[in-house]
Structure 1
Amino acid sequence: MAAQGNTKVIYAALFANGAIAVTKFIASAVTGSSAMFAEGVHSVVDTGNQFLLLFGIRRSKRPASAEHPFGHGKDLYFYAFMVAIMIFGAGAGFAGYEGIHKLLEPTEVSPSWINYAVLGIAFVFEAVAWTMAYRGFQASRRGRGIIETVHRSKDPTLFTVLFEDTAAMLGLIIAFFGVLATQLTGDPVYDALATCFIAVVLAVTAVFLAIETKGLLVGEAADPNVVRQLRATVTADPAVVAVGDVLTMHLGPNEILATISADFDNSISAGSVEDATARLRKTVQASFPDVSRLYIEARELKPGTASV
């Protein structure tokens, strides 16, 4: 699924997190729960993250220019990386500070049905958003495991929203047990501990997302299957004797830069080599629409020099 196709999922998460944040802050103000306050901050951060992703998608659609001849596709990767930083700094950092502060200086948490009502409503909204994100993620798995799918995905919106929503649901569950334990025992320490656990969940999510988006930002090769098919397509041309390097890099979720070195038949003329190169360009563009930039280098290859 292309990044553009995930905007519905992002908008759903945006509106859900915005509405949930307001209710969480109201519940925190009424009851004094630090866990609810941390969850409110979490929802505000997630709301901001959706804006970052939408802005990244918009920026990535800009056409190529003299300053950026390969386009702006990687803008999406940059803003997805910023999402990871936001989750870690603003989300995990603030929740951790709030939790430790409440552990050192406990304050009374008033028992109230408001906390449970807000948590229940928030969980329903998050579940709906999570389901939409999961369906999009499932469509891209193609029989692969979850970790492998995330690692091979070139569209960060596929897994960023999913893992954000997963962290949000885990945070709600932790907040529920923290509020419940505090109400049953009268000890606010449980509420503070829940806040600390929420910080840990956010930190782990942020690190995982940062690792995956960093790989995309610095440049990842196309899927190995695509590389193999590119090699086979060029090798099949009658004018090609051998294929050497097939080097690829994603410039965006649906933009691949490919550089292929090919050894052409020495018996054909230079004009025939040009014709073969033009023919290969048309064949590759027809079979691989994501290959937006294709460079074919004609050179003599020694036996055993072919590589991926």
Structure 2
Amino acid sequence: MPTDIFPTPPVEAPPSSKLAIVAALAANLAIAVIKFVAAAFTGSSAMLAEGIHSVVDTANEWLLLLGLRKSQRPAHAGRPFGYGRELYFWSFVVAICIFAIGGGISIYEGIEHLRHPTPLGDPTWNYVVLGLAFLFDGASFLVARRTFNEQRAGRPFWTTFRESKDPSIFVVLFEDAADLLGLLVAFLGVFLSHQLHNPRLDGAASLLIGVILLVVAGLLLRENRSLLLGEPAGTDLLGQITAHARADAAVVAVAEPLSSYLSPHEILLVLRVEFVPRLAATELTQAVERLRTSIQQQFPDIRHVFIQPAFLQNA
């Protein structure tokens, strides 16, 4: 008799996640405006690429906020498990935007500037804008890093990234890191172009910014695709759930749990359990309900539990 908890309230996004996204959106919107102004005055291809990069990032933060809002809609008969994966879908769209728009246009601008180099104007605008942009992006990056470090809890960076189920945190972190690295490349492109009187170096900087965006987008696409397809819960968590179930007096054996993340803090769990033989129907119902309730109390992220009584010869 499979059993599941009745419709549960939507999972609210942690305030820190929204704060990191809003901080990045405000920073990128301001930076995009001043970058385009600087590009218009100086004719810098790298600065134009950076302006495009900031516009894409601004749109991306808005899409992440949209995904957070849509993912928190309550479940109903047409969507019994809610809309948690909306966040994963929109995060995947963000990664595509970084790849196709940010990286693609930056590379196109770089190639065009290499083919048809034009002398740059007064670089003062570029240096002022790059300095301001670095301050804005740096502040946004610090907010995103602090939020990500709260999730890390002392674990290695790449381990936390691979195991993270909350793209609203790591997408912003990677975007801000790409922003800062791109600003350094743009500065070198402008500086060396003027010092060496070679405008092609500015185009080469634009190409390098595009490559940086493609690499970041590739990492995000891979991780978000995995989340969108439904990653299982971690082996440690599943092991704890199995041990918890086996500790129940009415349980004889437990098969390996089946699970899937529906949102960063919402897991669907299917548990095949062999109960003590010759339990009356009422006793079996009580045992199933007791086990379901205790699992959800012990592990708050397990929002949907299906317990299937079964005969497990090899469990």
Q: 1:235, CA displacement in angstroms?
A: 0.6
Q: 1:2, CA displacement in angstroms?
A: 7.2
Please state whether the residue corresponding to 2:28 is helix, strand or coil: helix
Letter in 2 for 1:109: L
Q: 1:226, CA displacement in angstroms?
A: 1.4
Q: Distance in 1 between matches of 2:121 and 2:31?
A: 21
Whether 2:130 is the aligned partner of 1:119: answer yes
Q: Determine the structure 1 residue equivalent to 2:262.
A: 251
2:74–2:83 CA contact under 8 A, matched in 1: yes
- 291, 297, 301: which one pairs with 2:308? 297
Q: Does the C-alpha gap of structure 1 residues 82 and 284 become closer, same or farther in structure 2, counting only changes over 3 Å?
A: same
- 40, 44, 59: which one pairs with 1:29? 40
Q: Distance in 2 between matches of 1:235 and 1:157?
A: 36
Letter in 1 for 2:129: V
Q: Please list, as runs of the form range in 1=range in 2, the aligned pairs for 1:252-291 lying within 5 A after superposition.
A: 252-291=263-302
Deviation digits for residues 186-232 of structure 1 (CA, Å, limit 9, x no counterpart): 11001000000000000000010000000000000112221111111
Q: 1:62, CA displacement in angstroms?
A: 0.7
Please state whether the residue corresponding to 2:271 is helix, strand or coil: strand
Q: 1:20, CA displacement in angstroms?
A: 0.3
- 82, 95, 103: which one pairs with 1:71? 82
Identity %: 46
Q: Distance in 2 between matches of 1:296 and 1:254?
A: 20
Q: Determine the structure 2 residue equivalent to 1:99.
A: 110
Instruction: Tell me which of the two structures has the higher relative contact order, counting C-alpha pairs closer than 8 angstroms and 6 or more residues apart.
Output: 2
Whether 2:238 is the aligned partner of 1:222: answer no
Q: Give 4+ residue runs of structure 1 displaced > 4 Å after superposition.
A: none
Q: 1:65, CA displacement in angstroms?
A: 2.1
2:123–2:190 CA contact under 8 A, matched in 1: no
1:2–1:155 CA contact under 8 A, matched in 2: no
1:261–1:297 CA contact under 8 A, matched in 2: yes
- 161, 167, 179: which one pairs with 2:190? 179
Paired residues, what number?
Answer: 304
Unaligned runs of 5+ in 2: 1-10
Q: Distance in 1 between matches of 2:39 and 2:276?
A: 75
TM-score, structure 2 normalization = 0.94
Q: Distance in 2 between matches of 1:143 and 1:252?
A: 23
Aligned-CA RMSD value: 1.2
Q: 1:112, CA displacement in angstroms?
A: 2.3
